[in-house]
Amino acid sequence: MGNVTSSVAARLAFFPPEPATYGVEPAQDGAGAGGLLRMTGVSSDAGVEVRLLPTRAGTRVVSAFWRHPSARLTLLYSHGNAADLGQMLGLFLELRAHLRVNIMSYDYSGYGASTGKVYGHLFSRLIIIGNSIFNSLHPGQDLLPSEYNTYYDIEAVYDCLKKEYGVEEEELILYGQSVGSGPTLHLASRLEKLRGVVLHSGILSGIRNIDKIKQVDCPVLVIHGTADDIVDFTHGKRLWELAKEKYEPLWVKGGGHCNLETYPEYIRHLRKFINAMEKLAKDKAPKASQVPPSSSMADVKHKCLRFGKK
């Protein structure tokens, strides 16, 4: 399995679209420190807030918060290896409407309008080799874009969710598609009160998922196509088997790596999962009768960010 997963990781190395499919510019109120930006191709009434977030790696990544007025949870979506935010705008809008959730999406360092750009697929392949050598000399650091830097990216986005939108762990679902399963499980393994995790065509190992899935304490939904010729179906099955708290998986019969959203069972099962997580959040919420008279009840905010596939 080791050689297989290593070859999968190599095939799914980071290949940002060239050129980027969108740009960002200052919003009407300006884009100072913490200020909002505008994403090209998105109307002003789309209900999205775009920011440029600093990471521990020294890059700045684009985040886009798609707000739903009735959302109770927040879904933080990490996309696949060969797409950027501009290619997924329509899907964000569709999922927000059908799932009634907020969506927090972001581009990795080196993708879209995020900094750390690497030009050319040949150079991207050289980065794979270079990262291996560089990391052996400087553990925990990488050239761009890279697996380690996706960890820094998602940490920056999570910090934004907490500080700018008041999202608590209990209100958050992490969604990782393909290589996005790497940063998703990295963050999930560190959050003890996380509401849930979705792994869409996830990778078993090669990006350290095989160890981190065992450290996740919340419900895990695994979605995988039985005819996936990029990340074999066995990856999804094993990830589900290794999860501590298993949610009913979705094995899409005949589904490939890049088309699971086109199957009607995809949105149905995802909506079922979201509903279950909303109910779980409600059941675990403290009741007034359980609070001592000296305690004060704070308003509970519920947000759910969710995003689809590349």
Amino acid at 151: Y
3-class SS of residue 63: strand
Asked about 257 being catalytic, the answer comes back as yes
For 101, list phi and psi in degrees, rounded to 5.
-130, 160
- 208: its two tokens: 């350290």
Task: Show Cβ contacts of residue 67 under 8 Å, excluding neighbours closer than 6 positions.
Answer: 47, 48, 49, 102
For 228, list phi and psi in degrees, rounded to 5.
-65, 115
- The 10 Å Cβ neighbour count of residue 23 is 15
With contact defined as beta carbons under 8 Å apart, do 307 and 91 qualify? yes
Residue of 79, 224, 235, 257 with catalytic role: 257
Residue of 78, 114, 146, 178 with catalytic role: 178
Asked about 235 being catalytic, the answer comes back as no
CB burial of residue 274 (10 Å; 0-12, 13-18, 19+): buried
Task: Show Cβ contacts of residue 25 under 8 Å, excluding neighbours closer than 6 positions.
Answer: 37, 38, 40
Interatomic CA distance for residues 24 and 266, integer angstroms: 31
Asked about 142 being catalytic, the answer comes back as no
Residue of 107, 142, 153, 228 with catalytic role: 228
Task: Show Cβ contacts of residue 256 under 8 Å, excluding neighbours closer than 6 positions.
Answer: 225, 227, 228, 229, 230
- The 10 Å Cβ neighbour count of residue 263 is 17
Element (H, E) at 270: helix 264-284
Annotated active-site positions, please? 178, 228, 257
